[in-house]
Amino acid sequence: MKIELSEKLKAYCNQKSKHKILLYMGQSPCCTIAEAKYYAKFISKSPHLKEMNIDGISVYYEAYIEKYLDDCQLDLVKFLNMIIVNY
């Protein structure tokens, strides 16, 4: 699986040093940012979470999405499907 980050998203992440992207494509992709951050506490400890380093930014995602995505570009437009969390 190949993941690319859009330029806007890279710029956003680089402003927030020490932050990592957690790509959350769970049961409710339309959840609010607050709900997503709540779920992130549990998802980030998940044993089936995978990590990929892209341009120095760590992207975390649920292993099962590999079945559905071959290549994807992550963008701020899809922000509700991912959470930027500080570890």
Domains annotated for the chain, with CATH where assigned, are 2-86 (2.60.300)
16/85 Cα distance (integer angstroms): 10
Global pTM reads 0.57
Reported as a pLDDT band with limits 50, 70 and 90, residue 86 is very low
Give yes or no for residue 80 having a pLDDT over 50: no
Name residues whose C-beta falls within 8 Å of residue 63's C-beta, 6 or more positions apart in sequence. 48, 49, 50
- Which two three-digit tokens encode residue 63? 């292993």
- Residues 49-62 have pLDDT tens digits of 778 888 877 777 77
Residue with the bigger pLDDT between 24 and 27: it is 24
